[in-house]
Amino acid sequence: MSTTHKLTLLPGDGIGPEAMVEVKKVIAWLESNTDLAFDLTDDDIGGTAYERYGVPLADETLEACRNSDAIIMGSVGGPQWDSVDYDKRPEAGLLRLRKELDLFANLRPALVFDALVEASTLKPEIVKGLDILIVRELTSGVYFGEPRGIEDLGNGQKRGINTQSYTTEEIRRVGKVAFELARKRGNKVHSCEKANVMESGKLWREVITELHAAYYPDVELHHMYADNCAMQLLRNPAQFDVIVTDNLFGDILSDEASMLTGSLGMLPSASLGAPGIPGLYEPVHGSAPDIAGQGKANPLATILSFSMALRYSLNASAQADLLEAAVKSVLEKGIRTPDIMAEGCTEVSTGAMGDALIDELSSALQKAA
Ligand code: IPM
Ligand code: MG
């Protein structure tokens, strides 16, 4: 007996749609070759939704998302929407989706595949075997704090305002996710803020310290200022296991951590809320409008995001293992999209990367039979 998993697919803008085509190949393969079954709903988010519905996330799309088991997203944004009002910009659609579903814990693994060690701008001995998980708070902080806006000071000057704010509970719940995940990995958490200059950082440190003492004394905990963390990620990234941090620092540190791995095109993410709420799975990379539609995009980050959905939302970790092993083999065979191309490897298009992955899945299955 197999259950049917309801997925909402939101390809979005730029390279999002072409990456999603490759995810669909993987879904079709899983349907024919495993006992998984899927019920797919396609919809729009970001600029493409703005063109279709006049808003970057329509109410009916949000409803479809709520009613699914997981949401797989491509990417949002593009220069053609630069002059659109903030609340209608492509990014606002994504922010609304995160907020409405209260997806407060954003998991961003930065994993260096052995085959890609040379792709990093850092020395191989610094990044080899790297496996960091950034847990970014995603529904509060300066992204959503009030007051916000641009006010006219009346003297020819304006003032732009954003507010950083965190409550005890907002810090606690993301801290719990980080400690729980650390126990399943390297059992170490670095909590990053700016407690030296920000009250919200001071509270963050207090809450994490109390949570740790009360429930997670077995986990190794370090507090680190976020600027120091940015530096340490380049100096000695191997010291990190799980990093837990706020929304804005997490945005920045996860981009930095992703570059350690050599390509932004490889990194997936999961955004999780309370039990029973569908998770949102999306690549860390943006919409890369400069290469969109040319078959140059690396679909692996979106495919690996789908793999995280199998693991965290669909209770299908065996299939996630299969898919992740196939990604590893493809890379070991030297099959590369332009972003991770190296000497002696074979450069392939977005579609050919997806096909290579399918071939790999099929031969793994044959070997296992
Ligand atoms: C990310 C992106 C988003 C963010 C944008 C697209 C709103 O940079 O997911 O990291 O800032 O959170
Ligand atoms: Mg970002």
Query: Position 56: which residue type?
Result: P
> What are the residues whose beta carbons fall under 8 Å from the beta carbon of 335, sequence distance 6 or more?
345, 346, 348, 352, 353, 356
Protein residue whose Cα sits closest to atom 6 of ligand 1: 91
CATH of domain 111-265: 3.40.718.10
Helix 199-215 × helix 168-183 angle, to 10° = 50
Whether the bond between 147 and the residue before it is cis, its omega within 30 degrees of 0, is yes
Query: Position 223: which residue type?
Result: H
Q: Measure the CA–CA gap between 207 and 330, rounded to whole angstroms.
A: 44
Please give the distance, rounded to the nearest whole angstrom, from the Cα atom of residue 92 to the centre of ligand 1: 10
Which residues sit opposite 160 in a β-bridge? 150
Q: Does position 2 have pLDDT exceeding 70, yes or no?
A: no
Contact, 301 vs 264, CB < 8 A? yes
* Domain boundaries, given as residue ranges, for the chain: 1-104+273-369, 111-265
42 is catalytic: no
Check for a shared fold between 1-104+273-369 and 111-265. yes
227 is catalytic: yes
What is the arithmetic mean of pLDDT over 47-62? 98
pLDDT digits (tens, 9 = 90+) for 138-179: 999 999 999 999 999 999 999 999 999 999 999 999 999 999
Q: Measure the CA–CA gap between 158 and 231, rounded to whole angstroms.
A: 34
- 1-104+273-369: which CATH number, 3.40.718.10, 3.10.450.50, 1.20.1630.10, 3.90.1150.10? 3.40.718.10
What pTM was estimated for this model as a whole?
A: 0.94
Of all residues in the chain, the percent with pLDDT exceeding 90 is: 92
Whose atoms come closest to the Cα of 75: which ligand? 1
Q: What is the dihedral of CA 258, 269, 252, 116, to 10 degrees?
A: 0
In the chain, what are the helix, strand and coil shares in percent, each to the nearest 5?
Answer: 50, 20, 30
pLDDT digits (tens, 9 = 90+) for 301-360: 999 999 999 999 999 999 999 999 999 999 999 999 999 998 999 999 999 999 999 999
Q: Measure the CA–CA gap between 188 and 173, rounded to whole angstroms.
A: 17
User: What are the start-end ranges of the E strands in 27-83?
Assistant: 37-42, 70-75
246 is catalytic: no
Catalytic residue among 44, 50, 69, 143: 143
Q: Measure the CA–CA gap between 354 and 47, rounded to whole angstroms.
A: 25
**Of ligand 1's atoms, which has the minimum distance to the CA of residue 247?**
12
Give the Å distances, CA to CA, from 153 to 10, 150, 158, 160, 162: 41, 9, 5, 10, 16
State the DSSP code for 101.
Answer: T
